[in-house]
Structure 1
């Protein structure tokens, strides 16, 4: 089987795509930065950290990443946000331009992730059956004026053709994909309402020539991994730890906030609320006291929930600044970590960088969109990452329980 290179715009997305292959026995890891670790693994996911960039800068970063990491024997998966945050059009255009250096490029675009309520009908994304434009995530953060995927790609000059559900579920899917592949320099936008629809797309694409690259979210990654033969993967093991789990909620999504409230109410963690003003202000003593208190709590074998508190109308422009400020404040906590979890790719990436982590060896998926692995670099602890809008009110409780079991027994099985 050929290997895979997954290029994502944030950390949680890189992880939830790579684990689609990892949970079926293929060794998989997520990495970032200039020193990409574990390049020889069959499945390498790279966090380009481009979601907050302009279209031009995101395209430039993807061009650089592909020049460094793309190889002939690795099939390419361009991971995008399932609700079109960031710059998926510019990144797709950059990917096609890179591939076109060796011949016409053909992309299969299927962003649906049915397990999390994201589907695609008539070339438009729906969230829980409603147009993406009506969803909470779109109201908080969107790049494009519409969720029509052909129009989105068109903003970056990418030519496309929509493949309706009737085509995906009919007898002409493979022939249609073959026609588009022969035409070249085009993207086929595939409707999908169910995981079976995604499986049909993956199967029909498997032997199209010239081979396509794929654009989508973890739903498509699972479908592609599912048509490959499963392998028997190794069980990751670590020394058991007496230290507690640090759980950080930096995402503004309602799903993460409600999950934090449920975890706090469970009585299994100590809640450390952190005001944005404390992180962005001049109170060095308060930030040092936070790190000291969290370190002491973890050192006693207890779990800590650190949450950036927000009002009902948060300033979206402060997201990266807050994540980095919190990471700076908690940098000294690393030696007391027994395990780590974070919601929101930006938050997770900032903290891991301060902890001296340069990658994650993936082991399992706790639930759709929640990846489990082992950190690589200066510390080796179990880690769970979750996109902010994924999951339900009890997701953080399930994550906390799973990480506690792993760190106390020293095994991911």
Structure 2
């Protein structure tokens, strides 16, 4: 039997885009949240857990991760701490929880960190995050939301008392043995995180090779880029086709993310033949007296799905959005769409908060991961009360054509009757 992995993420789309890396290499992988481990009757070789901590304070995120690790981590399971590639949330505090979980068993602990995800333009040079070659601090995503004064990873980790050292690109590219020696040297100093530069898939492959085989006192910190490198280095057996119903019903696409990438992709998707666009104003979701109007919108969505139309539901946000309303809007939107779930041939959701709210309302307690539509855009099958194909995507990932590609993939699935 190959290595078993526990991935702990702070949101649903992040949990999925890491687990899918292993599923693509033939290893059974699933995503879960809440009490899903009990509900689904055991864990697959790769289990990715959404701790739902993206919007928490550092203290609360640490507490949440302590509880998750106490419940799910067992001796002999490799640990991967999934962090946002643009450092949203509380990655420093959550890293502390991993040290706390491993230190009593193994003494000093080494974390190998590389948040780079080259396929989506995220890279790391001199221990700092860049997006499409631009320093993270100068990007839209940082201006909209950030937790730290800057994107220097050593300084970020220091905010939670974690000691880290940078491993420069020159050392990464000197080869596996040179990098392994550098990692061993850092580990010899006690609890440390080795912050590894990476700009290409080859860089990440070298980092994975230098850290493998899995050791009980070593854990990994990164995004889906590093997960893919580790998965390729620990291949499983290929799986056969996964069946899905052949149906004439449409798919439901929900855009709740405020990121520019998702909004641009929604505009392109709205022009696709056979698709109905249903824009929703935030005021309609927040109003306590608009129940009849919300029910009417849900009826429109159901009618379109039954007629074989794919439906795009998008929260319309103008000007500078109030991020504090995000959780409430996601919950209200999920309430509105719950009656439509039984009529959808497939589901796509952008933004981890949106996806988590929808799936909770739809009675879904996990996702069996199958494939990627694009890098960072995961395809799977829902587990629980509803069993349909699902695509999840982080809000800031993808091109203008990503949602169009997602709908085209969901159309192919319902016509051919198989996910992969």
Q: Is the 8 A contact 1:116 1:368 kept in 2?
A: yes
Q: Is the 8 A contact 2:124 2:199 kept in 1?
A: yes
- Structure 1: distance between partners of 2:180 and 2:74: 26
Q: Is the 8 A contact 2:26 2:235 kept in 1?
A: no
Structure 1 residue 230: deviation in Å?
Answer: 4.0
SS at match of 1:183: coil
Structure 1 residue 74: deviation in Å?
Answer: 1.4
The equivalent residue for 1:389 is 396
Q: Is the 8 A contact 2:255 2:349 kept in 1?
A: yes
Q: Is the 8 A contact 1:181 1:209 kept in 2?
A: no
RMSD: 1.2
Structure 1 residue 289: deviation in Å?
Answer: 0.8
- Structure 2: distance between partners of 1:330 and 1:92: 36
Structure 1 residue 301: deviation in Å?
Answer: 1.6
Cα-to-partner distance string for 1:207-255 (whole Å, 9 max, x where unaligned): 3755410000000000001112341113211222232100000001111
- TM-score between the two structures when normalised by the length of structure 2: 0.96
SS at match of 2:27: coil
Cα-to-partner distance string for 1:77-113 (whole Å, 9 max, x where unaligned): 0000000000000000111111112122210000000
The equivalent residue for 1:112 is 116
The answer to whether the aligner puts 1:367 opposite 2:371 as a matched pair is no
How many residues in Structure 1 have an aligned counterpart in Structure 2?
Answer: 413
- Structure 1: distance between partners of 2:216 and 2:34: 31
Choose the corresponding residue for 1:259, options 243, 265, 269. Answer: 265
- Structure 1: distance between partners of 2:41 and 2:187: 32
- Structure 2: distance between partners of 1:57 and 1:38: 28
The equivalent residue for 2:358 is 351
The equivalent residue for 1:246 is 252
Q: Which runs of 5+ in 1 are unaligned?
A: none
Structure 1 residue 302: deviation in Å?
Answer: 1.2
The equivalent residue for 2:231 is 225
The equivalent residue for 2:79 is 76
- Structure 1: distance between partners of 2:302 and 2:129: 43
The equivalent residue for 2:213 is 207
- Structure 1: distance between partners of 2:25 and 2:216: 26
- Structure 2: distance between partners of 1:305 and 1:349: 18
Alignment of 1:13-412 (within 5 A): 13-36=14-37, 37=40, 39-103=42-106, 104-171=108-175, 172-207=178-213, 211-282=217-288, 283-412=290-419
SS at match of 1:306: strand
Cα-to-partner distance string for 1:37-93 (whole Å, 9 max, x where unaligned): 363311100000100111111110100000111111210000000000000000001
